Amino acid sequence: MSDPVAALIARLLAERWLPRDDDGVRQALTDAGFREDLERRLAGAGLRLLDHPYASHVAIAIAKGQEAAVFAGPKAWAATNLGLDRDAIALLVVLWALLVLPKRQRQIARVDADRGQDQGQIFAELKPVPVGGEVAEPVGERTLIADFGDKLGGKMRIQMNLGALARHGFIVRRKERIHEGPLLDLAFDYERTARRILDGSLAFVVDEARREAADEAMADDADAIE
C-alpha cells in the first residue's frame, strides 16, 4: 500500500535534503493534512521538518525536546552531531553571514518590490520567492582566507574545514568560489541569528569581506572582457 508521507520521510533521511520543487515536498508545503501527518510522524521519532519559505531546500533535524538527549554530553553541550570542530562551526557562521544574509536581504527587497508593483491589481498573481542563483552570490576563497585566516586557524585549516562543510552540504565549491549549499539556509534561525550578527562583532568584518568580494568579482569581469 502506498504511503507518500512515509516515502517522503524515508527519502529525507536517506538523501538528507530535498528541493522545494520535489513532488513530495511540494505536497508537504501545500497540503495542510499531509503536512500535519508528516510533522506528527517526525515528532514521534524525535525529529522536525526544517523549512523556510526563502530557502531552496527542506531537511529534517532533531526536535527541540530531544536536543538534550542528543547534544548534552558528560563535559559540554555539543554544537552539532556532525563532528565539526569549533573553528569549523565558526567558519560556518561566517559563511552563513556572507552568503545567506545578503541573499535574504535581496529576497525580501524583491518580494517587497513585487508586492508594491502589484498593489494596484485586484487579482495580482502571487509570485514565487526567488531562491536560485540570481539572488545568491558566491564568496571567493582567497577573500575569505585574507579576511579570516588569522581568526580561523590559517589557510590550511580553513581549506580543510571548507572541505568538511562541503561534504555535509552546507556549501558548494567551484573554481575557488564558495556557493551556498542546500543546508546552509536551514542551518540557523534567521530571525534570531541575523540581528546578532549584524549588530555584533562580526558586523564590521562581514561588511569588509562583502566589499572585497565585490571588488574581486569586478576584477574577474574585467579580466574576462580583456
Hey, where are the domains in the chain? Answer: 4-71, 86-225
Give the rounded percent of residues in the chain with a pLDDT score beyond 70.
Answer: 75
- 13-38 pLDDT, tens digit each: 999 999 999 999 999 999 999 999 99
The single-letter DSSP state of residue 200 is S
Between 76 and 222, residue with greater pLDDT: 76
Q: Is the dihedral of CA 158, 155, 203, 215 positive or negative?
A: negative
How does pLDDT run across 138-157, given as a tens digit for each residue? 999 999 999 888 888 899 99
Q: According to the model, what pLDDT value does residue 41 have?
A: 97
Distance between CA atoms of 9 and 59, rounded to whole angstroms? 10
- Taking only the tens place, the pLDDT of each residue in 178-226 is 999 999 999 888 777 777 776 665 665 566 666 666 666 666 655 555 5
